[in-house]
Structure 1
């Protein structure tokens, strides 16, 4: 580059990565599966009101969307959803069964027969109605085709007035208007269940179950039941798991043995008929946020496709007898919990630091992997993309803090001599989750303009064993806040970031960490708070959905025992402590972090605060997680405008965010 390099103020670098481009590439393919020999999956459509399309890859390699707008293949089970579709071949033609987001009914669609999808399940006017996940077409009693699913059925108007159980839905549509025609396979003996996995001989089924106040990464039970001649699940018995053991997934091997992933050793490792398989200090599983997540898949040949690693999980093939794992070669450094197998074929969803998530097929016979769907294409010159670095920082008490640093990067511009760049700490959601180090054009939107980003996998994150995960027990709002601050301050002390121009941002649980960081530290000059948890007492008292309604008992402590802790840690209870400007973004149809909490927070800040400049933008039609392109564009540009005003640089290419006091 030499003399061509210009020196411009950080934040003002000209970038080809606009907010619209970042929004257009938001999201990733999910839930791959086989329909006959073909591979199908769902993928996002931000420009089509944020729907999830069902995509088919034909034998000739062409891709097509199976259903036109507004069909939206997405489940609301446990609000975060679960596997929403399945497919089979009947009379030589593909047939799919899917959940439509708008009404949460199951539909059958004759893909090559023409006509509209036909409903299989009825509507219910009670509470949140009937919701479905993990459909699987099977033969029921008398040879009648059925769809086995997890049913989430509301019994009242309260968020926890519901039951979850296994149900068989007639494939012929005879239950479309008749709740009584749905065949219940099991009694709802647990509050939460995952889909039933049926043994190869069809005589047994296995699934995971747990109850409040546990979350599935705290403790689950592996249940096995017999399938009777009448096609119901009888004599359920617990085979593994418990209150302090998380079983993340269960499957059957081709020879009828039971295999599962459990953190009994402190790491999610594989077990077969109760015996450990290739134990390692790595994760072969993860947190069950959505039923149908899959980290391993037994193959017909006896090998096992696995996702494994410490931190990042990569795709490999495990020989359980030799205790050897051979990883798939390729440019993918991270894989999502979305394995599918057919014979000895393996399909996964992988990404890398310079590649977005794409559908990858691994041929175990040849040992080769290739992209077969949602292929990454450079939408911008890769020279403008950041070059991330995995880091381990040290918190005040000496504990390790895992993070990914994305320095400002531009092929033709650098910052002025003697000036350090601003940095934004990104706190991920969950909080029992992890942020992968993969291409994200929202990050590149900032780094290409001269603003650094550091993503922090704070204590409580997954991927580093149960001990690291448990650091957040009763310490939410403490450990996460301290770990994010440790990463930010370390970058400043190293001379990488400008200490006076640090910001923090996050959504959901990351929004909580952001708000708490603004209230209880003096590290940040501003923050972006996105569909956040803000009021712990209200959240624990029925203001959120059922799945996470008791989550705070482990994250904070039982409300009845430590009510003062709930008040002390809630940013809205200490509005006078918030001195830094902030932007608050909220979806108006969010059942997890409802807008009422954000509005109460703003009222308290305005009534009892210090006249801090702030902005609030609420989005119609958005829930928990923004999916519409126009929403994402406005949110990104507003965030950039906030940083421009606080950090003191010009951002002429975005609308000025109006900050009020």
Structure 2
């Protein structure tokens, strides 16, 4: 056991190791009786591949580089693939990221395009495909740009011929809906094929504010008739809908303040916990009905568990196993349920639950300890008190290294992590980026500030017209509480975050004196510029609820924007940005840096070619992580080993 200052502990967890384990499986599904899913490949340019688990247990990537199975619908994407058995062999359709075309694929062959290319704006994009073999079509969401502006776009449900006749002919794509709603989710077809349900919403609402559940009849000619809203509204968010095997319509609604399950309008399991979540990606799935009438569910308050709900009794039985957090993706086949689960000691794995026996096992992407797990952090789930006595939920990761302790009178530095969204949540799972810091003697505190999902609508609504206030106050309250109780060194506190978390970080540096430095990652910095043509369509009116209507409170937009108050930023910072980011474009960073010019505040700006909103390439993540550690080392007086020195402009 060595006695060394915090921040200088030797660690086997380097940035390359953390980058190699970034990302997790998504979008599970069945093709026949085989489980398939997508997986990240950071070392292959950050692409996502499609993985197949054969009946004998062999796992294989079915699409080589450069194929990248990822949709750009609403920019955050959605379910990018679907499959079915045709003549005894798998037939898969998928979206390729590079051209956003829908492709048809049979293992052993070369994918062939099903949809055309459009030169207008962002082109044609597809998500949530449903293969209808008997009809020879794929039903899905079509996002079509009608001009060059990011808001020149329409979205409809569409039917794409499986024979490839639409590959060069846009007119061969059959539109199923009329585009009356700005946003739609993919079609859910009833077991008898006679009805279709989907979700819809319009600006300025986000899907967690209010959505409508739309129902239509499928006519003999394959058109949809009599579309009508059967649930939902401006202040009721329906997160997902699906059909039970008996033809009843299931959906997750937050009409009581919590996303609970309903069957034909009747509650199945009323609880003060969530059976749904924010619909950031089309195709998120928190429940899946089984043929037996039982329902597989991802549910919880804060953390999410995998369970089986009996709709007749309202009883939920959770899967036994180490997984304390489940991602919003589910697939069922017979009594088999496939999900993606993780825990504070394990990364996300593909898990199969036998609904008949209750047995669960890992079937894909198994967690493999990259280092001795003794180097993993040991998190604490805590609730702090913020302004006006409000509760603030957080995960605290103290410094931890089995071979090191700090001198007895030294307090550790801490970094406050603000999650993105802001309507999101930091899950309590093994994250090697966190372990990268804690194993070196730097504590991390993930704050699920007011506005975060997972704690009911009232908690979520705390951020309404309060973005840049409540999130900043809550993060500061946690940081100061840690210092006041003797957990953290008050002089060595930092803040960091990406996207909305980048906003909170920059706003914190501009409006508080809590932090000695900060790491700002692909942020929002200019509210007015972001809301007036400065971002993509999905979030283009998000600030109407987060800040207030721009036409009514333009002063509030200027008052809260870090770009307008760069003169107040005195703490050193690191700014990280992807040059291909269309959600938080680099122009915001450039305006902020121009305002900082000549102020002699130490800072660094790293911009990465080929990266968008969220870094995916291993080399980018390595440089970003090492640069962040170097910033803390220089500001806090640490001595980490083997880390390149980040050059700060002064």
TM (normalized to structure 1)? 0.98
8 Å Cα contact 2:519/2:574 also seen in 1? yes
Q: Partner of 1:628 in structure 2?
A: 617
- Residue 101 of structure 2 corresponds to 105
Distance 2:349 2:393 in 1: 25
- Unaligned regions of 5+ residues in structure 2, if any? none
Are 2:595 and 1:595 equivalent residues in the alignment? no
Q: Which runs of 4+ in 1 moved over 6 A?
A: none
1:613 is aligned to 602
**How many angstroms apart in 2 are the aligned matches of 1:158 and 1:615?**
31
- 1:18 equivalent to 2:11? Answer no
CA contact (8 A) 2:218 2:224 kept: yes
Aligned residue number for residue 204 of structure 2: 213
Alignment of 1:449-468 (within 5 A): 449-468=440-459
Q: Report the RMSD for the aligned CA atoms in angstroms.
A: 0.7
The answer to whether the aligner puts 1:646 opposite 2:635 as a matched pair is yes
In 2, Cα distance between equivalents of 1:575 and 1:309: 41
Partner of 2:626: 637
- Identify the residue that residue 346 of structure 1 maps to in structure 2: 337
Q: Is 1:77–2:68 an aligned residue pair?
A: no
Find the residue that maps to 2:497 and give its secondary structure. Answer: strand
The number of residue pairs the alignment matches comes to 650
Residue 275, structure 1, aligned to residue 271, structure 2: no
Q: Distance in 2 between matches of 1:386 and 1:611?
A: 36
- 2:275 touches 2:300 (CA, 8 Å); kept in 1? yes
Partner of 1:40: 36
Q: How does 1:288-299 map to 2 (within 5 A)?
A: 288-299=279-290
CA distance in 2, matches of 1:271, 1:93: 37
In structure 2, C-alpha distance between the alignment counterparts of 1:174 and 1:439, rounded to whole Å:
46
- Out of 110, 121, 127, the position equivalent to 1:133 is 127
What is the distance in 2 between the residues matched to 1:224 and 1:530? 41
SS across alignment from 1:338: strand
Q: Distance in 2 between matches of 1:616 and 1:77?
A: 29
Q: Deviation string for 1:228-247 (max 9, x for gaps)?
A: 11101111111100000000
Kept after mapping to 2: 8 A contact 1:197/1:252 = yes
Secondary structure of residue in 1 paired with 2:409: coil
The answer to whether structure 1 residue 240 and structure 2 residue 231 are counterparts is: yes
Partner of 2:368: 377
Q: Distance in 1 between matches of 2:236 and 2:406?
A: 50
Alignment of structure 1 residues 455-534 onto 2, 5 Å: 455-534=446-525
Match of 1:448 in 2: 439
Any gaps of 5 or more consecutive residues in structure 1?
none
Whole-Å separation in 2 of the counterparts to 1:490 and 1:391:
11
* 2:114 counterpart of 1:123: no
**Contact 1:427 1:455 (8 Å CA) reproduced:** yes
CA distance in 1: counterparts of 2:233 and 2:250, whole angstroms: 17
Match of 2:540?
A: 549
Whole-Å Cα distance in 2 between the matches of residues 343 and 431 of structure 1?
A: 37
- SS of residue paired to 1:496: coil
Separation (CA, whole Å) in 1 of partners of 2:263 and 2:97:
37
Query: Secondary structure at 1:542's aligned position in 2?
Result: coil
- Contact kept? 1:572, 1:605, Cα under 8 Å: no
**Normalization by structure 2: what TM-score?**
0.99
SS at match of 1:336: strand
SS at match of 1:283: coil
Q: Tell me, in whole angstroms, the C-alpha distance in 1 between the residues paired with 2:88 and 2:232.
A: 42
Partner of 1:419: 410
- Indicate which of 143, 150, 161 corresponds to 2:141: 150
Of stretches 461-470 and 179-188 in structure 1, the one that deviates more from structure 2 is 179-188
What is the distance in 2 between the residues matched to 1:328 and 1:252?
23
Deviation digits for residues 307-345 of structure 1 (CA, Å, limit 9, x no counterpart): 111100100000111110000000000000001111221
